[in-house]
Amino acid sequence: MFSDFLKSLSILKKFLFINLIIFLIIGSFAFLYISNVKPNLIKNKTSKHIQIIDNTIEHILRLNIKFEEEDIRRFLFSTRFLFQNLDRVILFDNQFNLVGDTDTLDLDPRSFSNRLDIVQLEILNEEISNKIIETKNINKEKTVSLKDILTNYSWSKDYGKPFTFIQEGYDQFLLTTVKNVTLEGVNIGYLAISENANDVKSAIDERKTFILRTAIFIVIVIFIFSFVLNRYFLKPIKSLVEYTKIIKEKSRKKTNINELKGRNDELGTLSNSLEDMTNELQKRISHAENFSTDLVHEIRNPLTSLKSASEILHETDDQSQRKKLINILNHDVQRIERLITDYSQMLKDEVALSKEKMKRINLKLIIRSVVDDFNSIYETKRGIKIILNDLSNQEEYFINGIENRIEQIIANLLDNSISFSDDNKKILVEVSKDDKNNIILRVIDEGKGLKESNTKKIFDRFYSNRPDNFGEHSGLGLNIVKNLVDLHGATISAANNTGQKGANVEIIFPKSQT
């Protein structure tokens, strides 16, 4: 259920949601830490108080000090240096009457004189007996007096054990520990130690402030990172997704992919690759649609001829006419068969081309091999001689290409030249280099030449200027050559020969990159 919810969120929302979960987990640990810091710090203070209380009670019992004002005063006076590190030590008798307070020793220098005993005690009684101390119990929050605390302590189950409470104000954090004093099992009084523990409050405040600042800092960092993530990464990705939807739905809606293409990072590269892929896909779709349309048109013509010839053949008894019609039927069937065969081969070639890799090959060796094969067929059959003319006889011609595709280019060019040539003619194949070390391949024939002023048309599918025996050809040969030449990064052109009959086709291959 949770995974489904997470999958339904956008990347930004997932990022914020996960950060929120982490933030809450860290916040919970921080809250537990703060909650435990205060009790631990108070516990450390209290343990010191208890140690001092136990030592003081031991001294009182050992010296047989009575919980009377004069005895306690003498005890405090004689041991005043023992309490100099404490803020305050207070002693009460069994009736909760104040009998001693170190604050009086600190405040009144006359407390160190034996002649002022009565004055000191009177001040002590007058100052403390009516004083209400606001305290906050470590477990309960309420305002009570010190006498109330001692009364509750005397009736509590913790009676006989040290009891700690705190007094907390705006600028004050008093920690007070009380314990009863017993002699031979009888309670004789109470001892309280009070310390200004502002360091505890400061430590807690510092930790709270640190955690609060850290939390604010983390929130700001997450906000900035989320802003950067959304603006510079997620929005561009969203635009790319929108772009793919527009392509899929064939919508005319505009996108900002051109802005993304200008980026110098991976998203810019991805945008350019995506657009190139889309353009290539659209080009292939358009190519397939146009080719299918042309193929249907080309097949319709021989089908129409087949239909007409078959109808006439069925109605005529003239043997010469029937023979002529049978030749037409045979011619049209060959045409349709060649169209289907070449079309199937083109589809196979397109699939194969996507898997084949180019390598460094010697063009002259491939040309010689194809020329020898054609000579072995057509020199005997039609008396056509194909001559390889190497303008630099000792030089090799290396290009980057696919060997069997280069063979296909040369074979289609020779096949096209032979179809337009009369018997006992010559076809010249030249290979050379230009001043930039590009490799030039020319196929020159003595045929009828090109009729079109725009010679680029001969590389179109189903070129209309066909030889008389065009039933042996599909009209796709030069178009296949053009596609393969483009694949190799080369250029192809055609022109009529100057001063003689025939045409020549020229291909310029870029030099091999070693």
CA–CA gap between residue 514 and residue 396 (Å, rounded): 14
Verify that 274 and 415 share a domain, yes or no.
no
Overall number of domains in the chain:
3
Return the pLDDT at 492. 92
CA–CA gap between residue 443 and residue 456 (Å, rounded): 16
Contact between 171 and 47 under an 8 Å Cβ cutoff? The reply is no
Determine, yes or no, domain membership for 303. Answer: no
pLDDT band at 144 (very low <50, low <70, confident <90, very high): low
pLDDT at 424 over 80: yes
**This prediction's pTM:** 0.47
Task: For residue 366, give the CATH number of its domain.
Answer: 3.30.565.10
pLDDT at 396 over 70: yes
Classify residue 381 by burial, with Cβ atoms within 10 Å: 0-12, 13-18, 19+: exposed
Residue with tokens 């010296």: 63
Return the pLDDT at 473. 54
Verify that 252 and 198 share a domain, yes or no.
no
pLDDT at 29 over 90: no
Determine, yes or no, domain membership for 347. Answer: no
Least confident range from 11-15, 178-182, 315-319, 404-408: namely 11-15
Least confident range from 14-23, 186-195, 381-390: namely 14-23
Return the pLDDT at 428. 92
DSSP H/E element including 388? strand 385-390
Residue with tokens 């190139």: 276
DSSP 111: G
pLDDT at 433 over 80: yes
CA–CA gap between residue 47 and residue 53 (Å, rounded): 10
Least confident range from 102-116, 327-341, 394-408: namely 102-116
Structure tokens at 437: 């070390």
Fill in the amino acid letter for 501. Answer: K
Structure tokens at 214: 């850290």
**454-486: buried (b, 16+ CB within 10 Å) or exposed (e) per residue?**
eeeebbebbbeeeeeebbebbbbbbbbbbbbbe
Could you tell me which residues come within 8 angstroms of residue 349 by beta carbon, excluding any fewer than 6 positions away?
408, 480
Determine, yes or no, domain membership for 220. Answer: no
Last residue of a domain, one of 137, 171, 204: 204
pLDDT at 129 over 50: no
Determine, yes or no, domain membership for 79. Answer: yes
Contact between 342 and 474 under an 8 Å Cβ cutoff? The reply is yes
Return the pLDDT at 393. 65
Work out the average pLDDT over 370-383.
86
pLDDT at 48 over 80: yes
pLDDT band at 442 (very low <50, low <70, confident <90, very high): very high
> What's 74-91 look like in SS3?
HHHHHCHHHHCCCCEEEE
Verify that 256 and 191 share a domain, yes or no.
no
Determine, yes or no, domain membership for 290. Answer: no
Contact between 268 and 237 under an 8 Å Cβ cutoff? The reply is no
Backbone φ and ψ of 176, nearest 5°: -125, 130
Verify that 368 and 441 share a domain, yes or no.
yes
Verify that 198 and 250 share a domain, yes or no.
no
Last residue of a domain, one of 146, 176, 204: 204
pLDDT at 68 over 70: yes
Verify that 413 and 510 share a domain, yes or no.
yes
Pairing of strands 491-496, 503-509: antiparallel
Verify that 512 and 439 share a domain, yes or no.
yes
Contact between 409 and 443 under an 8 Å Cβ cutoff? The reply is no
Verify that 156 and 254 share a domain, yes or no.
no
CA–CA gap between residue 505 and residue 280 (Å, rounded): 28
Q: Residue 162's closest CA among 52, 291, 244?
A: 52
Verify that 275 and 372 share a domain, yes or no.
no
Q: Residue 146's closest CA among 75, 67, 105, 88?
A: 88
DSSP 256: -
Verify that 22 and 167 share a domain, yes or no.
yes
Last residue of a domain, one of 185, 204, 223: 204
Would you state the torsion angle of the CA atoms of residues 304, 307, 310, 313, taken in this order, to the nearest 10 degrees?
A: -60
Return the pLDDT at 508. 93
The order of strands in the sheet holding 385-390 is 385-390, 426-433, 439-444, 503-509, 491-496
CA–CA gap between residue 324 and residue 335 (Å, rounded): 17
Determine, yes or no, domain membership for 381. Answer: yes
Within 129-254, residue ranges assigned H as helices are 146-155, 198-229, 235-249
CA–CA gap between residue 444 and residue 421 (Å, rounded): 11
Verify that 414 and 272 share a domain, yes or no.
no
Determine, yes or no, domain membership for 233. Answer: no
CA–CA gap between residue 385 and residue 168 (Å, rounded): 116
Return the pLDDT at 491. 92
Residue with tokens 């959304």: 230
Q: Say how many CA atoms lie within 13 Å of 370 toward its Cβ.
A: 21
Would you state the torsion angle of the CA atoms of residues 281, 283, 289, 291, taken in this order, to the nearest 10 degrees?
A: -120
Return the pLDDT at 135. 38
Least confident range from 97-111, 229-243, 325-339, 343-357: namely 97-111
Query: How many other CB atoms are there within 10 angstroms of residue 498's CB atom?
Result: 6
pLDDT band at 353 (very low <50, low <70, confident <90, very high): low
Output the average pLDDT for the chain.
77
Cα torsion 264, 265, 266, 268: sign: negative
Verify that 85 and 176 share a domain, yes or no.
yes
pLDDT band at 6 (very low <50, low <70, confident <90, very high): low
Range(s) of the domain holding residue 147: 2-204
Classify residue 322 by burial, with Cβ atoms within 10 Å: 0-12, 13-18, 19+: middle
Determine, yes or no, domain membership for 223. Answer: no
